[in-house]
Amino acid sequence: MSSNKKHDHRKTYWKVWASLIVLTIVTVWTSYYDFGTLNIVVAMLIATTKATLVALFFMHLLYDSKVDTVVFASSLVFLAIFVGLTASDMLDRYVPQPVKVAASGDNDMGDVAKLAKPSPELIAQGKTLYATNCASCHGDSGMGNGPAAAAFNPKPRNFTTGEWKQGGKPTQIFQTLTTGFNSMPSFAALPAEERWALVHYIRTFSPNRPEDSAADITALAAKSGSGAAHIPVRLAMELSAVSEAQPTYDIRKSAIDATSEGGQLYQTRCASCHGDNGQGGINVRVLGSHPFSYLATQSFAGNHAAWTTNMQEFVRINSLGLPGFGKPAINDLTPAQWQSLYNYVQQLAGIR
């Protein structure tokens, strides 16, 4: 039975309150430091200490029946078991690392003096390329509100504002497309003419379209190399393959092995949305304002997106997924599995 004597605990309460304030300051202070795998241990230690002080003194557990103390302590033990089991899974789980793919080294700028000037043909070509490569992030109208925009921070550029972080001249936009910027990947895998076509179409969205000077065009042309004749790496590879005693493109394409590791990964991870042969056209449900929002997947065939010739971009897109675009993240593949899956998808796209 508890004692009926009245005790003055005010001094004790003040001391406990002061201790809680100090522990709160410690909590904020430790948040500025990275203890690696011990982050959760440090956080739980501080939180448990604060909770124990509150329970013992403010909830009067220290002065209550011993049975209540045992019950409370038992709940903490079970909590520790739960946290321990969870931590054993999280800390030992394999974390896939994106496969590092070396840059192609292709510095092709095309005929800068000619392609830096817009033409109806280039703008029309750019419109088609924009729909495939850019609209998912920048939106159909260039307002930066594409279906995949929610996944990025900072958000994709709103071209209609007339503001250009890297400059709005054709040569400046071309360099941004070639090297990438922030969350936007490099589109150097696209032939130079296609990048120029994108440049001129993107500029149609903006009320601010500064023009290049002769010095700008000369400076960019100088970056193309020594001035000797050169062709894009992709075209050079196709031309060199002709002289090899290897099956032709059509025969290689027909020899896709669905039983390979890449084929099996594709069937289990990708086919339900992209089709058994990468043909697309499958309605995928996405989260939106309407409870039944769907988007149709695109065909791999004829796709000119950066991932088709850039494995690093392929791994990045699939590792992160596209929230709001119906594409979940895949983050449990090994580097070897990523390579096999990428090779197989390239076959479906007609790249290999």
Q: What is the pLDDT of residue 73?
A: 77
Percent of the chain that is helix, strand, coil (3-state, to 5): 55, 5, 40
Maximum separation of any 2 CA atoms in the chain, in Å = 101
- Give yes or no for a contact between 143 and 155, defined as CB atoms under 8 angstroms apart: no
Query: 343 versus 76: which is more confidently predicted?
Result: 343
| Domain 234-349 classification at class level | mainly alpha
Q: How far apart are CA 230 and CA 104, in angstroms?
A: 14
| In the chain, where the domains are located | 10-92, 112-223, 234-349
Q: Per-residue pLDDT averaged across 44-64, rounded?
A: 82
CA 238 to chain centre: 31
Minimal CA–CA distance to 285: which of 296, 298, 275?
A: 296
How far apart are the C-alpha atoms of 53 and 20, rounded to whole Å? Answer: 8
Q: Cα separation of 175 and 266, whole Å?
A: 34
pLDDT one-digit tens code per residue, 214-266:
888 888 877 765 333 444 455 445 444 543 333 333 334 445 777 888 888 88
Is 127's pLDDT higher than 70? yes
Average pLDDT over residues 125-141: 88
The CATH class, in words, for 112-223 is mainly alpha
What are the two backbone dihedrals, phi and then psi, of residue 236, each rounded to the nearest 5 degrees? Answer: -60, -40
Q: Highest mean pLDDT: which of 5-14, 61-70, 104-113, 211-220?
A: 211-220
Residue 96 predicted with pLDDT over 80? no
| Contacts (Cβ under 8 Å, ≥6 apart) of 69 | 61
Q: 6 pLDDT band (50/70/90 cuts)?
A: low
Portion of the chain with pLDDT greater than 70, in percent: 79
Residues 140-165 pLDDT 10s: 998 988 877 776 777 888 998 888 88
CA distance 176 to 1: 78
Angle 261-269/335-349 helices, nearest 10 degrees?
80
d(CA 306, CA 70): 62
